[in-house]
Amino acid sequence: MVYDVIIVGAGPGGIFSAYELVKRDSGLKVAVFEAGHELKKRKCPIDGEKVKSCIGCEKCSIMSGFGGAGAFSDGKYNITNDFGGTLYEYIGKTKALMLMKYVDEINMKYGGEGTKLYSSAGSKFKKECMQNDLHLLDASVRHLGTDINYVVLSNLYDFLKDKVEFFFESKVDSVSPSEDGFEIECGGKKYACKNCIISVGRSGSKWMEKTCEKLNINTNSSRVDIGVRVELPAEIFSHLTDELYESKIVYRTQKYGDRVRTFCMNPKGAVVNENTNGIITVNGHSYEDAKKQTKNTNFALLVAKKFSEPFKDSNGYGESIARLSNMLGGGVIVQRFGDLIRGQRSTVSRIEESFVTPTLNATPGDLSLVLPKRILDGIIEMIYALDKVAPGTANEDTLLYGVEVKFYNMEVEVDNNLQTKYDGLYVIGDGSGITHSLSHASASGVYVAQQIAQQQNQT
């Protein structure tokens, strides 16, 4: 069997590629190879009772399987060019926004209708932030919530399953150019295709690196974001989250001129572990369903670190810092802001006495032993800055979990069609290093699918 298109990875990038391909041309033979499980088999063993922290499953159900890293995410689709990736640099701002809106329409059609679309345009908080040297970025945010996101994914799978051939628990070993296209090797078997879309996300970053090396495709890696996840009573941020849901606020530190930003805000949400290639970091999500909501809001505070020549391994730098927290805490460390400022570690009893109940079972410890001074100073400055627009942020009991690392996949050299130097070999989504979000990854999938379908129709 020669497929017209083989898609590697069934995250949002891969799913939206498959969706658009079969919508545009139902005659196309499309196969999707996914290293993880199908959606209903995805289950993280952490139950808070028997299994309290990450046990390093071979196939991490949080990061892989149908739905990709986004399946149990908060399902926040940020419709903006201001953050979430640089897709617009390749396809233009108008097209990028148009595709993100198109993805939103599909999500609404497949179970997301009735969910809220928030917008920061014209918000009074923009002025309030500016008056305090904070900068609120423009975006529309569709919040599906973890529960509805799952429903949308289930419905998309039901739509696709008879039109596309899915191979689950099938990690692709290699992609090689052949006479008529590409040969995909998976579990000792070979599959042929005319076009190949690689959408392996963050969990496939090491694989992507090796594949680029083998195929001689240029890459570039220079950025990593490092910081903490902040958790505090939901009331402290409610005036912002009720109106905007997620506010992306940027601050430039006075001490070093570094940029610190809020990231992935989860009102009434939960803090969770994230396992990237065996390294445990922290993340967060929240539910649309009020019954599943918590009393806390969480968000990340990240400092962007860009390296210049000769250093090239920015992710390696982030990994080393995360490993340090794993070494000291056996996983994620939690510390009260008050303890951090006083230069003392948090202990089990200090956390128990705290007025904020942690939603993640992390090890109480000292983040100043883990985070580089420059990064920690930036985070502390930002917490005091946020305290001016959301009083209470700098409270004693505000919890800081560390470390949160936003790994950026190395950027793969592609042209404006997201095509590599090999005709018919496309790299999209977070695996390309171009996107870092659900909406951008999904939009990149639609974009490439439209081009392939168009070419197929012409031949």
Ligand X SMILES: Cc1cc2nc3c(=O)[nH]c(=O)nc-3n(C[C@H](O)[C@H](O)[C@H](O)COP(=O)(O)OP(=O)(O)OC[C@H]3O[C@@H](n4cnc5c(N)ncnc54)[C@H](O)[C@@H]3O)c2cc1C
The one among 194, 336, 406, 436 contacting ligand X by CB under 6 A: 436
Q: Does 74 bind ligand X (CB under 6 A)?
A: yes
Shortest distance, CB of residue 393 to ligand X, whole angstroms?
A: 21
Q: 368 or 444, CB closer to ligand X?
A: 444
Please count the residues of this chain forming the interface with ligand X, following the rule CB under 6 A.
46
- Annotate each residue in 400-429 with x if it binds ligand X (CB under 6 A) or - if it does not, as one string: -----------------------------x
Q: How far apart are alpha carbons 417 and 428 in whole angstroms?
A: 10
Shortest distance, CB of residue 430 to ligand X, whole angstroms?
A: 4
Q: Does 241 bind ligand X (CB under 6 A)?
A: no
Q: Does 202 bind ligand X (CB under 6 A)?
A: yes
Stretch that binds ligand X, among 46-54, 63-71, 217-225, 380-388 (CB under 6 A): 63-71
- The secondary structure element, H or E, covering residue 303 is strand 296-306
Q: Does 269 bind ligand X (CB under 6 A)?
A: no
The one among 156, 172, 321, 405 contacting ligand X by CB under 6 A: 172
Q: How far apart are alpha carbons 241 and 247 in whole angstroms?
A: 7
Exposed / middle / buried, residue 189 (Cβ in 10 Å: 0-12, 13-18, 19+): exposed
Shortest distance, CB of residue 404 to ligand X, whole angstroms?
A: 11
Q: Does 201 bind ligand X (CB under 6 A)?
A: yes
The one among 31, 35, 96, 301 contacting ligand X by CB under 6 A: 35
Q: 64 or 395, CB closer to ligand X?
A: 64
Q: How far apart are alpha carbons 134 and 356 in whole angstroms?
A: 26
Stretch that binds ligand X, among 99-107, 203-211, 375-383, 450-458 (CB under 6 A): 203-211
Stretch that binds ligand X, among 28-36, 232-240, 252-260, 325-333 (CB under 6 A): 28-36
- Cβ contacts of 50 within 8 Å, gap of 6 or more: none
Among 433, 425, 443, 36, smallest CA distance to 197 is for 425
Q: How many C-beta neighbours within 10 Å does residue 278 have?
A: 11
Q: 207 or 337, CB closer to ligand X?
A: 207
Q: Does 13 bind ligand X (CB under 6 A)?
A: yes
Q: How far apart are alpha carbons 156 and 161 in whole angstroms?
A: 9
Distances (CA, A) of 267 to 10, 79, 278, 393: 28, 19, 28, 14
- Annotate each residue in 124-163 with x if it binds ligand X (CB under 6 A) or - if it does not, as one string: ----------------------------------------
Q: Which amino acid is at 436?
A: H
- Annotate each residue in 345-374 with x if it binds ligand X (CB under 6 A) or - if it does not, as one string: ------------------------------
Shortest distance, CB of residue 204 to ligand X, whole angstroms?
A: 3
CA 94 to chain centre: 23
Among 140, 145, 147, 146, smallest CA distance to 248 is for 140
Among 56, 431, 31, 444, smallest CA distance to 280 is for 56
Q: Does 431 bind ligand X (CB under 6 A)?
A: yes
Q: Does 65 bind ligand X (CB under 6 A)?
A: yes
Q: How many residues are recorded in the chain?
A: 459
Tokens of 64: 């892989």
Q: How far apart are alpha carbons 336 and 347 in whole angstroms?
A: 9
Q: Does 264 bind ligand X (CB under 6 A)?
A: yes
Q: 344 or 361, CB closer to ligand X?
A: 361
The one among 274, 288, 319, 397 contacting ligand X by CB under 6 A: 274
Ordered DSSP codes for 387-419: HHHSTTTT-TT-EEEEEEEEE-PPEE---TTSB
Q: E strands along 145-216, which residues?
A: 165-167, 172-178, 181-186, 189-198
Q: Does 204 bind ligand X (CB under 6 A)?
A: yes
- Binding residues for ligand X, per CB under 6 A? 8-14, 33-36, 62-65, 68-70, 73-76, 78, 84, 171-172, 199-204, 207, 264, 272, 274, 283, 285, 429-431, 436-439, 441
